Amino acid sequence: MGKEKVHINIVVIGHVDSGKSTTTGHLIYKLGGIDKRVIERFEKEAAEMNKRSFKYAWVLDKLKAERERGITIDIALWKFETTKYYCTVIDAPGHRDFIKNMITGTSQADCAVLIIDSTTGGFEAGISKDGQTREHALLAFTLGVKQMICCCNKMDATTPKYSKARYDEIVKEVSSYLKKVGYNPDKIPFVPISGFEGDNMIERSTNLDWYKGPTLLESLDMISEPKRPTDKPLRLPLQDVYKIGGIGTVPVGRVETGVLKPGMIVTFGPTGLTTEVKSVEMHHEALQEALPGDNVGFNVKNVAVKDLKRGFVASNSKDDPGQGSS
């Protein structure tokens, strides 16, 4: 995937079992992110473990432990392309004890896709006081994710199937809550979909011919292009630090402002550690420069993993490096 399209980050949020991983996996699969043979293998593995309905989610749940528990634990980064954008999907978990992961994932996103379970009981559980539909929407807004797309999922399992009345009821109730949080519901598309069957994901579904709005893919292309401050000094908060055999220490994070290039001398705040950037990668592809919004890993010279921590900020030592505040 080339750099000519604008790069945006999407966080997928919603109540546990609302279908986040299935919807995301289906989208990535349909948009060519995954080899067909891999999906066939996932289907076989899922069937062997009596979790046939998890086949698309399998795409995102790469760790064996996650597969066995049937939940997405760490934030998985996946990519796909729309007509307009080059998208990185941050698949945020829905279980309550994973809310920390949800926060770090959400704070990097340009747009939130809120997945709502439209089934009887499913929607009510998510929108209840203890449900994560409310909590995630509030978190997204609080953390500065001002654009949102709502997907009324599992429309193939409403009573009756593909029920317009159920869709209308959900839109009304969720709109009312989103307005309280601070969103303008008039600017949020509510797309009735089936993440498993594929209705209205990429192409318009005849099962939902009463719906005249955009598909999920069209809604993603309607996201307003985020302004990327390339002219400001480099600021790159670290999300994590890895030691990779044969390469060395690789900090990972999202460029917030400025540009990161191989050969650049960077300073890590708050400790002031300074070193050279040997290489920069995104999605296993070497970059000549990383721009704001890019989630990257970069290899640094003569630095031990223990010297860097999540939350440190990398800046260009020759251009207004970050200062600790007293």
Instruction: Check which CATH number belongs to the domain holding 13 and give it.
Output: 3.40.50.300
pLDDT in tens, 120-173: 998 998 898 888 888 889 988 988 889 999 999 999 999 999 999 999 999 999
- Domain holding 246: CATH number? 2.40.30.10
One-character DSSP codes across 185-218: GGGS-EEE--TTT-TTTSS--GGGTT--S--HHH
41 and 136 belong to one structural domain = yes
Number of domains in the chain: 2
Q: Within a domain: residue 89?
A: yes
List all residues 6 or more positions away from 62 whose beta carbon is below 8 Å from its beta carbon. 76
Q: Within a domain: residue 323?
A: no
15 and 46 belong to one structural domain = yes
Q: Are strands 295-300 and 313-316 parallel, antiparallel or unpaired?
A: unpaired
SS3 category, 117: strand
What's the pLDDT at 216?
96
263 and 205 belong to one structural domain = no
242 and 312 belong to one structural domain = yes
d(CA 59, CA 28): 9
What's the pLDDT at 117?
94
What's the pLDDT at 2?
45
What's the pLDDT at 78?
67
Neighbours of 153 (CB within 10 A): 30
Q: Within a domain: residue 322?
A: no
Q: Within a domain: residue 226?
A: no
302 and 265 belong to one structural domain = yes
122 and 79 belong to one structural domain = yes
Q: Within a domain: residue 273?
A: yes
Q: Within a domain: residue 1?
A: no
Q: Are 151 and 23 in contact (CB under 8 A)?
A: yes
Q: What is the DSSP letter of 186?
A: G
Last residue in a domain, options 196, 221, 246? 221
46 and 105 belong to one structural domain = yes
- CA-based nearest residue to 114, from 178, 200, 207: 178
What's the pLDDT at 25?
78
What's the pLDDT at 95?
47
pLDDT in tens, 59-68: 555 433 444 5
Residues of the domain holding 294: 236-316
136 and 167 belong to one structural domain = yes
Backbone angles phi, psi at 100, to 5 degrees: -60, -45
Structure tokens at 195: 């993440």
158 and 200 belong to one structural domain = yes
124 and 84 belong to one structural domain = yes
d(CA 72, CA 156): 23
Q: Within a domain: residue 229?
A: no
Q: Are 276 and 300 in contact (CB under 8 A)?
A: yes
Q: Which residues of the chain have pLDDT under 50?
A: 1-2, 62-67, 70-77, 94-96, 326
Which strands sit side by side in the sheet containing 76-81, from one edge to the other? 76-81, 85-91, 6-14, 111-117, 147-153, 190-192
Last residue in a domain, options 169, 186, 221? 221
What's the pLDDT at 71?
42
Mean pLDDT, the chain, as a whole number? 83
Last residue in a domain, options 193, 221, 249? 221
Q: Within a domain: residue 120?
A: yes
29 and 169 belong to one structural domain = yes
296 and 250 belong to one structural domain = yes
